[in-house]
Amino acid sequence: MQSIHLFVCTGLACALEGAEENLEALQKGLQQYNLKRKIRVSLVRCLGQCGYGPSMVVYPEGIWYAKLNEDDIAKVIQKHLIEGKAVTDLSRTPLDTEDSL
């Protein structure tokens, strides 16, 4: 499996929309599928996409996910992290960070 690194925003705007609940769902899902040692998760304070939170980016592909909820997290785990297919209906092209400020 290729090394995967998730950047999960837990900043204020995303937290107000459920980022902490999403993070809990993500951690449980990674544990459930025995992925915790294969996928690095970094928490960030802001991805510059505050109007589209909760936000997350998956590398190395650089796929940005927006407005995620706990059900969406389950889809991203199953489709993207396990099957290797980006969930296109949840992804979006990020704004330039200057546009989001």
Q: Can you give the binding site for ligand FES, defined by CB under 6 A?
A: 9, 11-14, 46-50, 53, 55
Nearer to ligand FES, 41 or 46 (CB): 46
Residue nearer to ligand FES on the CB measure, 51 or 84: 51
Please answer whether residues 63 and 80 qualify as being in contact, where contact means their C-beta atoms are separated by less than 8 angstroms.
yes
Minimum CB separation of residue 45 from ligand FES in Å reads 7
Q: Which is nearer to ligand FES, 47 or 77 (CB)?
A: 47
Question: Prior bond to 94 cis, omega within 30?
Answer: no
Nearest residue to ligand FES, by Cβ distance, number only: 11
- Tokens, residue 101: 């400020």
Place of tokens 């449980």: 28
Shortest Å distance, C-beta 83 to ligand FES: 26
Residue 84: CB minimum distance to ligand FES, A: 25
Determine phi and psi for 75, rounding to 5 degrees.
Answer: -65, -45
Whether the Cβ atoms of residue 30 and residue 77 lie closer than 8 Å to each other: yes
